[in-house]
Amino acid sequence: MAQTVNVNFRLDETDKKRMENVCNELGLSMSAAFTIFAKKVGREHRIPFEISVDPFYSENNVAHLRRGIAALNAGLGVEHDIIEE
């Protein structure tokens, strides 16, 4: 068996708690879950799930939001009715 090493990284507290809860439900430690992830990445040479960009943060949308913020800061905001669904 290969020598084991420690790996340290930062993780948001909420994400850690959520992962701990899932791991507990699955009967795994977080260490075992990360080991499974690392082995799969090493074996398949890919991240074993889809990673995509949130369209909210697209360049066009962020530019639109910045223009809106600038307009509000300049006192150019326009009232609108509340949209209820």
Instruction: Give the position of tokens 């962020």.
Output: 62
pLDDT in tens, 35-59: 999 999 999 999 998 888 788 888 8
Q: What CA–CA distance (Å, rounded) separates 31 from 7?
A: 10
Contacts of 41 (CB under 8 A, 6+ apart): 47, 48
Contacts of 19 (CB under 8 A, 6+ apart): 11, 30, 33
pLDDT of residue 77: 79
Instruction: Give the position of tokens 């899932």.
Output: 22
Q: pTM of the full predicted structure?
A: 0.58
